[in-house]
Amino acid sequence: MVAKTSALIRERRDSETGLESASRNSEGRSASRASALDRLIHERIRLGIVSALAVNDSLSFRELKHLLKTTDGNLSVHARKLEEAQYVDCQKSFDGRLPKTMYRLTASGRKALMNYLAHMEALIRATRAR
C-alpha cells in the first residue's frame, strides 16, 4: 500500500512539473502520461495563443486572430478560458472610439507552457526510444 501511494504521489508530482521520465513506461503508463497533458493548453487555438504570447510582450485580439487564422468567436472563447485559468491577462481599452483588447502571458501561463513543453518532449523521447 505504501509503495502504491508513493507511486501515485510521484506520478502526480511528475505530471504537475512535466518531468515524467521515459523509464517509467515499462508498466504501460504511456496512455496515462498522454492524458496527463494540460488539456487547457493542448487544444490547438489555446496552444497557439500561449505560444504566440510567450515570444511577444503582448498581442492585440486582431493580431492573434490574424496569426492563428481563426474567427472572432473562436478566439474569444479560447482566450476567455485561458484568462479564467489565469494563464493570460486581458486588458481592454479604447483607441479613439474603437475597442482594443490586449493579451499578455502571465507568470503562471508561462510556467504551464514550460511544463507542457517538457511533458511533450518526454513523450517524444519515450516514443523514439521504442
Q: Please report the pLDDT score of residue 35 as a whole number.
A: 58
State the pLDDT at residue 91.
97
Contacts of 74 (CB under 8 A, 6+ apart): 45
Q: How far is CA 71 from CA 53, 74, 77, in A?
A: 18, 5, 10
Separation of alpha carbons 64 and 49, rounded Å = 7
Give the pLDDT confidence score for residue 94 in this predicted structure.
Answer: 95
Domain ranges of the chain: 2-129
Judged by DSSP in three states, 82 sits in helix
Name the CATH topology of 2-129.
Arc Repressor Mutant, subunit A (1.10.10)
pLDDT given for residue 7 in this prediction: 44
Ranges of the chain with pLDDT below 50: 1-28
pLDDT of residue 36: 73
Torsion angles phi and psi, residue 68, rounded to 5? -90, -5
How high is the pLDDT of residue 130?
A: 82
